[in-house]
């Protein structure tokens, strides 16, 4: 998985390599454990923006109509759930004519999934609150954001929330990365 990372806040330092590793390991695990659904996930691209409370509050208001900060936002390039493992881009188990991923990937090196925006200040507060390391909380938020890009939505139903939570738990720690 290719990643583009931009840290637009100045207070908290974090390694870009850690972020890349988390996303690459999560993509590898998903593509190998669920090849029919995510087999081509490693050939996708995700951008990550790291921001502060103020900037996140502005984005949350602009895109969700909520005048408060949040920990993570995801902006998928394509809406809905997609199968990335069959060589064809599928939505709701029906092949989309004219948009096979294999053809798209011949034209470009990676399929753009979307953007993940993480509020590092909120992540720092939540890590203390939950008794985990800051880096473990950032990992959780990256995986949560990635699953949203793949079409999972915990706000849709309890069933969707359980499926998303199960995948999050399966993926947390896959990078074997150690927090501070």
Note the pLDDT tens digit of each residue in 104-138.
444 456 788 999 999 999 999 999 999 999 999 99
Sorted by sequence, the CB contacts under 8 Å of residue 18 that are 6+ apart come out as 135, 138, 175, 177
H or E element at residue 136: helix 134-149
Top CATH class of 2-171 equals alpha beta
CA 107 to chain centre: 24
Angle at CA of residue 76, ends 74 and 82, nearest 5°: 125
Local structure of residue 137 (DSSP, 8 states): H
Per-residue pLDDT of the chain (180 residues; tens, 9 = 90+): 999 999 999 999 999 999 999 999 999 999 999 888 888 888 889 999 999 999 999 999 999 999 999 999 999 987 665 555 554 444 444 444 444 444 444 445 678 899 999 999 999 999 999 999 999 999 999 999 999 999 899 999 999 999 999 999 999 975 544 333
Report yes or no on whether pTM surpasses 0.85.
Answer: no
Backbone angles phi, psi at 14, to 5 degrees: -150, 145
SS (H, E, C) 138-156: HHHHHHHHHHHHCCCCCCC
């Amino acid at each position: 998985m290719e990643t583009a990372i931009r840290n637009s806040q100045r207070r908290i330092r974090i390694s870009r390599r850690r972020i890349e590793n988390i996303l690459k390991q999560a993509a590898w695990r998903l593509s190998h454990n669920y090849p029919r659904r995510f087999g081509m996930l490693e050939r996708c691209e995700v951008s990550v923006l790291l921001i502060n409370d103020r900037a996140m509050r502005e984005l949350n208001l602009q895109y969700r109509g909520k005048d408060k900060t949040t920990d993570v936002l995801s902006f998928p390039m394509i809406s809905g759930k997609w199968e990335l493992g069959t060589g064809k881009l599928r939505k709701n188990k029906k092949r989309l004519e004219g948009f096979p991923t294999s053809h798209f990937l011949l034209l470009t090196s990676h399929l753009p999934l979307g953007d993940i925006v993480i509020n590092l200040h909120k992540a720092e507060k939540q890590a203390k609150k939950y008794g985990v390391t800051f880096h473990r909380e950032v990992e959780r938020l990256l995986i949560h954001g990635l699953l949203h890009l793949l079409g999972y939505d915990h706000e849709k139903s309890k069933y969707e929330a359980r499926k998303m939570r199960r995948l999050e738990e399966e993926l947390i720690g896959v990078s074997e990365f150690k927090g501070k």
